[in-house]
Structures are given as structure tokens and as C-alpha cells.
Amino acid sequence: MQIKFLKPKLSNIEEMQELIYPEVENGVILERNSDEVATNIRSYTLAYVGAELVGFAALHIHTIELGEIRSLIIKDGFRGQKIGEKLVNHTLKEGEELGLKRVLSLTYKQSFFERLGFVEIPKESLPEHKIWADCIKCKHFPICNEVSLIKEL
């Protein structure tokens, strides 16, 4: 299976929102409205199989040393085929090229990220602006079952 990684255009936002909607409804991924996606469009990488969008992830920059992989989604029917792994590795490479030293992730899929070299860290070590900018919008806040992990680049 050939996977193409592309940077999105603003015209991709509707398709991205449709792909992520079920996971937002389930409370697995934080909702981001179209304007927020547009503001951060350059942080996303899309994964295509042929002409079909099968997943995406964002590399959000917190500081000159720290980034975060967020909004990782793989379309039903394409999960379990290493697309997520390739997408995360592609995103980590982008972080390295930017000069990041570490990349974090808040996730319910701890074992997935640990297979990619991430290690668990206490949530208290997360940047405070992360909590107030993102976590407070979550339907599960302040009772959070996500695990925070980090990878040194």
C-alpha cells in the first residue's frame, strides 16, 4: 500500500472535519472548529492512499524545544495497517528538521506511542499553557484518563 504524505490546503478542512467527527463525538479527540484548523493548517500532515484521505496528524509547536503530536486520526478500515506509525514517524522527522528536542503526546493509545519510543511522563510536567489552551475545552476536563508521553529527538 502506497501512502502519500501531503501538507493540506484550506480546501481540505471540510474533509478533515468529516474524518475526525466520530472520534470527536466519542470524546477521543478534542474538537477543533474549522477556523482553528485553518489557523493551524501548516501544522497538519495528511495521509492519502490513492485519492482517499485515510488519516492526519498535527505537529503543534509549544516552545523552541518542545512540540506535540495531536489530532492523530486514521480512518476506520485503514487502522492496523501501520499508517498511524508511518504518519507519526513522518511528523517526528518534521520536528527534527525544525530543530525540536522533544515531542509530547496526550493519548488514550499509550502502547501505540510507546512502540514508537515515547515514554510516559507526569501530566504535571506539561506546559501550563497546554492545559489552559486545550485541555479545558475537553468534555472530560478535569477528569482526564489520557496518558502524557514524550520522545526525545
Please write the tens of the pLDDT for every residue from 112-130. Answer: 999 999 999 987 777 654 5
The per-residue pLDDT for 132 is 46
Over residues 2-31, the pLDDT tens digits come to 999 999 999 999 999 999 998 888 777 778
Secondary structure of residue 7 in the 3-state scheme:
coil
Query: For residue 31, with 0-12 CB atoms within 10 Å meaning exposed, 13-18 middle and 19 or more buried, which class applies?
Result: middle
Q: What are phi and psi of 3, to 5 degrees?
A: -110, 130
Burial label for 64, CB within 10 Å (0-12, 13-18, 19+), is exposed
pTM of the model: 0.88
Is the predicted pLDDT of residue 76 greater than 80, yes or no? yes
User: Residue 74: its pLDDT value, please?
Assistant: 97
Q: How many residues belong to the chain?
A: 153
Q: Which of 75, 26, 13, 77 is nearest to 47 (CA)?
A: 75
